Amino acid sequence: MAPMGIRLSPLGVAVFFLLGLGVLYHLYSGFLAGRFSLFGLGSEPAAGEAEVAADGGTVDLREMLAVAVLAAERGGDEVRRVRESNVLHEKSKGKTREGADDKMTSGDVLSNRKMFYLLKTAFPNVQINTEEHVDASDKEVIVWNRKIPEDILKEIAAPKEVPAESVTVWIDPLDATQEYTEDLRKYVTTMVCVAVNGKPVVGVIHKPFSEYTAWAMVDGGSNVKARSSYNEKTPKIIVSRSHAGMVKQVTLQTFGNQTSIIPAGGAGYKVLALLDVPDMTQEKADLYIHVTYIKKWDICAGNAILKALGGHMTTLNGEEISYTGSDGIEGGLLASIRMNHQALVRKLPDLEKSGH
């Protein structure tokens, strides 16, 4: 009953009720829409999975390169700090296809956190694939100051916009973990790659212990160059340490006894061996060959750099590698620069079989 002396008309009650509904709708419509959209997708995004808007607008590849360089260097700082502390908290994630321990350390985890969240904060609408799991409870907001370094501006004068939904970023927060645990520091790198519609376009390889960074953008510019000459007839071939004997047997038949095999760790290090790198710890090679399954975050950055400099990275059968879909490739790889790549593919027809 209304208080004495106050009479509520049916019209007033109806107006008051409608106003209340309007306020409730305004407060909760956004929340409910979000919950229903997640219900339609099945669940909330898991930690580390891509969180890409349906229409993410565009991103500037020049800005992405700047952030990729910063991310690789920030990750490298963590890698170096953990190694120098000599407290790695080493453990195994399982076995590789070859039966070896797939190792992980605190260096991998902390580097991954820095790199992932720096890139994710700067480009929230871009898909990011990373080797290590991203723990949402360990989230870190790292704000980019939006400053593009002078060396990048010098090489790439104008922005290069692409649709955000066409971009996939591949992060390797610590390449050559096995060598890292053995304190073989020269092989260790951190890497970031930006692929557009599956094609590698931006690549960054950083060496934490010499603090050297190589970067390049396809149809843009780079801070690294190819060497002046390569030996195609009796090349120096850089391979994984565990594959050296296997590759040597086949390549000696192909190139003769003058061929040199260089065992090394880390895909990033092996790509840099093909380039003119001002690092005294870096070995030099003419070809990079891998004969077994390999993950895309291991090779995408090197593929982009080689492609920007006119080089090639393909499967052993000469097929281009797509950086979408699954996170690995089965067909091994062959990387070269300033050589007849397809002629080399034809010379090495049995390597993939040897790898299996």
pLDDT of residue 349: 62
pLDDT of residue 308: 98
Q: Which two tokens stand for residue 168?
A: 């996939």
Q: Is 276 annotated as a binding residue?
A: no
Q: What is the pLDDT of residues 123-176, one digit of tens each?
A: 999 999 998 888 777 787 788 999 999 999 999 999 999 999 999 999 999 999
Q: Is 131 annotated as a binding residue?
A: yes
Average pLDDT, stretch 203-228?
Answer: 97
Note whether 188 and 180 are within 8 A (CB): yes
Q: CA end-to-end span of the chain, whole Å? A: 86
Q: Is 175 annotated as a binding residue?
A: yes
Q: In angstroms, what CA-CA distances link 42 with 51, 135, 165?
A: 14, 20, 21
Q: What is the pLDDT of residues 283-314, one digit of tens each?
A: 999 999 999 999 999 999 999 999 999 999 99
Query: d(Cα 194, Cα 198) in Å, to the nearest integer?
Result: 9
pLDDT of residue 96: 60
Which range, 97-106, 172-181, 237-246, has the best average confidence (pLDDT)?
172-181
Higher pLDDT, 19 or 218: 218
Q: Is 172 annotated as a binding residue?
A: yes
Q: Which residues are catalytic?
A: 108, 177
Q: Is the pLDDT of residue 51 over 60?
A: no
pLDDT of residue 20: 59
pLDDT of residue 46: 36
Q: What is the pLDDT of residues 223-259, one digit of tens each?
A: 999 999 999 989 999 999 988 877 887 777 788 888 8
CA 259 to chain centre: 32
Percent of the chain with pLDDT over 70: 79
Q: Is the pLDDT of residue 22 over 70?
A: no
Which range, 55-69, 131-145, 336-350, has the best average confidence (pLDDT)?
55-69
Note whether 194 and 61 are within 8 A (CB): yes
pLDDT of residue 19: 58
Return the half-sphere exposure (C-beta side, CA atoms, 13 A cut-off) of residue 23.
Answer: 6
Note whether 289 and 254 are within 8 A (CB): no
